[in-house]
Amino acid sequence: MTLHGALSIILNIKQGMKPQLIKKLQEVDNDVNFNSIVPFKKISTIHFARFVVADSDPNPHGAPILDRLVFTTNYDLPEENHINELVKYAGPGLWDIFSMCDGFLTGSYDSKRLADFLHTNSKKSATFYVGVGNRSVTQITQEHKLRNAVQDYLDEHCSELTTKDAATIRKSIVNHVNGMQEFAWARTPEPPASSAYKMTRGLKIAGVLLLLVILSPIIIPFVLIWWLIMLLIEISEKDVPCKLDKAHVRALVEREKAIVQTQFSAVGNVKPGWFRYRTMMFLLTLTDFLAPYLYTKGKLSGIPTVHFARWLIVNEGRQMIFLSNFDGNSEGYLRDFIHIAAKQLTLMFTHTIGYPKTRLMLLGGAKDAKGFMEWAREKQVITNVWYSAYPDVSVKNVFHNSQIRDGFYGDMTEEQARKWLQLL
């Protein structure tokens, strides 16, 4: 079983270096898999990665925010292996890119110093969501190849298999694949989660629930008072309308080149005030803890297409960065926010300036479809470089492919074999 991590490097861009940096990132994006700067395809631990150049903001509460470079990866743990791979295959390129930013290392390239920098300067996500958990990049790509091989076999032998029963067809598929050396790995089941992992996971949630029950006489009135204060704050806040820039939306949509997957990057200013900040951080932390229990199989708040997502709170708590990797296109994705997950996601996004008016952080918000779409598109930013290790594999495919692999082991009844074949 493989667990996952989120690397996030955020640096201010040196004055005057932004055009050169964007040009360098364009070179990476021209051949995101095998370019000579950051050849992502050579790095076996990366599921998704991106570079984003975020524009300066002179008017947030507090000091002006400068142009920033955001570099993130979703990777297979352990972190040390991932960083070693980054340095091995992309070290000089990353050094060159980061050298255009303040706060990076000085002097000539040094692989050890770069590895230490990546380890110590990764910004911890306030919320990190994994929709296709416990699977390595290798497992996902191998199981997708297995599915394709089975489908090819069925296409080639359709006429002779049509009259066979499901159990016979399954046996024929298993024998064919087991005879192929390239699928030798598929003869062995993927190891399940260990008993220790399951026990630790269960005890953690059970402990939290027990604590909530014990402290409920204190927690319930505290939450009611907290909500009342938030309601008063919401009533007193003025609306900050967002404008839909059609040229900006076109530029965003034009970059959605992939057939199956795409990405979303957004940056928004957090509403001022200690109470707002503490509420936001509590909700993000709570979501980070509960997500592995409540939102599984790619269903982030019910949206069934999300591979990975993260929320980052940066610039002394004045800005929220939201990054996600999902199936489909951004228009459909945002519509899912409105129709499927309006209340859950409003709890977190309501703390950013320009979000549609809410009450008690649940009512309103994304239910204002026009206001939500205008806010989302205004806050969405260009992703200069985006990489997916398996761009033609949907969340649904990931889980079906694992079920197809599992069907290679043991015996099946006719009914079980029929249901297994329906996955193909």
Q: At residue 374, does pLDDT exceed 90?
A: yes
Q: At residue 118, does pLDDT exceed 70?
A: yes
Percentage above 90 pLDDT, the chain = 77
> How would CATH label the architecture of 1-123?
2-Layer Sandwich (3.30)
Mean pLDDT over 338-364 rounds to 90
pLDDT at 295: 66
Q: At residue 56, does pLDDT exceed 80?
A: yes
Let me know: does 270 contact 319? Beta carbons within 8 Å: yes
pLDDT at 183: 93
How would you list the strands of the sheet with 68-76, edge to edge? Answer: 4-12, 68-76, 46-54, 385-388
Parts of the chain belonging to CATH 3.30.70: 1-123
pLDDT tens-digit profile of 87-109?
999 999 999 999 999 999 999 99
pLDDT at 294: 74
Range with lowest mean pLDDT among 94-98, 120-124, 293-297:
293-297
User: Which residues are CB-neighbours of 173 under 8 A, at least 6 positions away?
Assistant: 150, 153, 154
Mean pLDDT over 117-125 rounds to 97
**DSSP string computed for 204-225:** HHHHHHHHHHHHHHHHHHHHHH
The CA distance from 52 to 68, in Å, is: 8
Residue 23 corresponds to which tokens in the numbers above?
């040009």
pLDDT-based confidence at 208, cuts 50/70/90?
A: confident
pLDDT at 302: 72
Let me know: does 374 contact 244? Beta carbons within 8 Å: yes
Mean pLDDT over 35-40 rounds to 98
- Nearest by Cα to 379 from 54, 9, 6: 54
Range with lowest mean pLDDT among 23-27, 134-138, 227-231, 359-363:
359-363
> Is 0.85 topped by the overall pTM?
yes
pLDDT at 280: 96
Residue type present at position 140: I
Q: At residue 285, does pLDDT exceed 70?
A: yes
H/E stretch holding 5: strand 4-12
Mean pLDDT over 191-207 rounds to 84
Q: Please tell me which residue, 8 or 199, carries the higher pLDDT value.
A: 8
pLDDT at 30: 96
Q: Please tell me which residue, 291 or 322, carries the higher pLDDT value.
A: 322
Q: At residue 319, does pLDDT exceed 70?
A: yes
Mean pLDDT over 283-294 rounds to 88
Mean pLDDT over 316-340 rounds to 93
Mean pLDDT over 321-343 rounds to 91
**DSSP string computed for 83-138:** HHHHHHHHHHHHHHHHTTBTTS--SS--HHHHHHHHHHSPPPPSEEEESSTB--HH
pLDDT-based confidence at 62, cuts 50/70/90?
A: confident
Cis peptide bond N-terminal to 78, omega within 30:
yes
The rounded mean pLDDT for the chain is 93
Q: At residue 258, does pLDDT exceed 80?
A: no
pLDDT at 275: 96
Percentage above 70 pLDDT, the chain = 98
